[in-house]
Amino acid sequence: MNGATTASEFRPSWVQEKLFLGMTWKDYLRSNYTPFNAVAAFILAIGIPVIMYRLIYGLGPSTNLSDNNPWGIWIGFDMLCGVALAAGGFVIGTAVHLFGMKDYNFLFRPAVLTGFLGYLFAIIALTFDLGRYYRIPYPMVVSWGVNSVLFLVAWHVALYLGCQFVEWCPAIWEWLNLKKLRRFFIKATLGATIFGVCLSMLHQSALGSIFLLMPEKLHPLWYSEYIPLWFFMSAIVGGLAMTIIESMASHRIFAHQIKNHDPDLLDRVTLGLGKATSVTLFAYFFMKIIGIAHGNSWAYLDTGYGYWYLVEILGFVLLPAFAMMYAVQNGLAGMVRSWAIVVVLGIILNRVNHSIIAFNWHLPWADRYVPHWMEVVLTVTVVTIGILTFRWIMNRMPILYEHPDFEPEQH
């Protein structure tokens, strides 16, 4: 801004280089006056007081939770959807590091970063839901309820957060130029990936298995012994679809970071992911049908809940499966991307159905749960902070591109 001469003499300090993107504090501040940040600031201005209100006055005044409806959107959306849609790290990690699909390697870091932050912020949102959030380490260190599915979820989500950190942290060491640490953690990637596959399989399905204890409260179209399998399969779908969306968005928003960006490669990989999504969706659809056959719940299809179920299963599972198949066969990467959004909405619909809409279906409407506005605001706030964190990291660390000073990863 002050002309070329001063710019070449200006030597950024460590803080300026690492934190302020090589700018002075003033320039950095000025660069942040953007419409996007204005919206984010508006959300935080309302959201952070709401979070404080929740922490000071408790769950009663800040939520519509009740004795009949102990769980709301903080569980049904933040936790269940957050974790299912963060499965991309596990799916891409398996493809790249176990199956050796090298084409997808450039998706690995962004996918693992999305996964890591997805889990992290799902846990942060969960904290606000816990009555005594300050006891969150209790299932690890104080008392072990080994018969609880939730015990498994707590342990596995915590361990998996560690796995994803190991998979992703070489980016931090490259950013901070710590070569030895980087080498150590790159060697650990394979182990973390395998451990992460086990953990993901179990906790993704365990999140559904939570509902196994509630056959008398969850609608028969959603309740089945197959819930664990349904949740696992749909998490794979969610991870794939989110990777499609996330790679499209970040290659657009952060395009300036990628020197030799190859749009054809991205399209090819998107079609590959679309194919995988389509196949998994078909398999998932048939498992859902087998669940109905197994529980012999056909008669429920011709009821109000049945029609709602059909909207989910036909409109958000079968239709995207066919659409993705069509798009892949005709090489339409753009169409894959649009339908990936439908698929993600379908996963959200499924999780919300399980935890809220089809839950307590036997109760009269007056006793049913509708979220309080503060619950919605808190959820939006946590998601916003998640996106801001994602952007902060993307702007600083080598996520989309390979750091020029380091050799490519090998294990």
Instruction: Note the residues at the interface with other proteins (CB under 8 A).
Output: 55-61, 63, 65-68, 70-71, 97-100, 129-133, 135-136, 138-139, 141-154, 190, 193-195, 197-198, 201-202, 205-206, 209-210, 212-217, 225, 228
- Which amino acid, one-letter code, is at 236? I
Residue among 28 and 151 whose Cβ is closer to other proteins: 151
In angstroms, give the least distance from the CB of 92 to other proteins.
Answer: 15
Instruction: Determine the Cα–Cα distance for residues 336 and 248; give it in Å rounded to an integer.
Output: 11
Residue among 135 and 179 whose Cβ is closer to other proteins: 135
Residue among 204 and 270 whose Cβ is closer to other proteins: 204
Instruction: Determine the Cα–Cα distance for residues 281 and 321; give it in Å rounded to an integer.
Output: 6
Residue 220 CB neighbours (<10 A): 18
Joined tokens for residue 317: 């599972």
In angstroms, give the least distance from the CB of 362 to other proteins.
Answer: 8
Which contacts (CB < 8 Å, 24+ apart) does range 171-174 have?
Answer: 171/109, 171/113, 171/393, 171/397, 171/398, 171/399, 172/397, 174/397, 174/398, 174/403, 174/405, 174/406
CA neighbours closer than 13 Å in the CB half-sphere of residue 345: 12
Residue among 159 and 283 whose Cβ is closer to other proteins: 159
Residue among 181 and 201 whose Cβ is closer to other proteins: 201
CB 359 within 8 A of CB 218: yes
Radius of gyration of the chain (CA): 23
In angstroms, give the least distance from the CB of 371 to other proteins.
Answer: 15
In angstroms, give the least distance from the CB of 389 to other proteins.
Answer: 25
Joined tokens for residue 324: 């993705």
Q: How far is CA 115 from CA 136, 165, 294, in A?
A: 21, 10, 34
Residue among 258 and 287 whose Cβ is closer to other proteins: 287
Residue among 206 and 242 whose Cβ is closer to other proteins: 206
Residue among 9 and 67 whose Cβ is closer to other proteins: 67
In angstroms, give the least distance from the CB of 343 to other proteins.
Answer: 26
CA proximity to 44, closest of 387, 380, 373: 380
Residue among 221 and 281 whose Cβ is closer to other proteins: 221
- Which amino acid, one-letter code, is at 324? M
In angstroms, give the least distance from the CB of 23 to other proteins.
Answer: 43
In angstroms, give the least distance from the CB of 213 to other proteins.
Answer: 4
Residue among 22 and 191 whose Cβ is closer to other proteins: 191
CB 410 within 8 A of CB 186: yes
| Exposed / middle / buried, residue 270 (Cβ in 10 Å: 0-12, 13-18, 19+) | buried
Instruction: Determine the Cα–Cα distance for residues 138 and 307; give it in Å rounded to an integer.
Output: 42
Q: How far is CA 22 from CA 28, 178, 396, in A?
A: 8, 19, 10
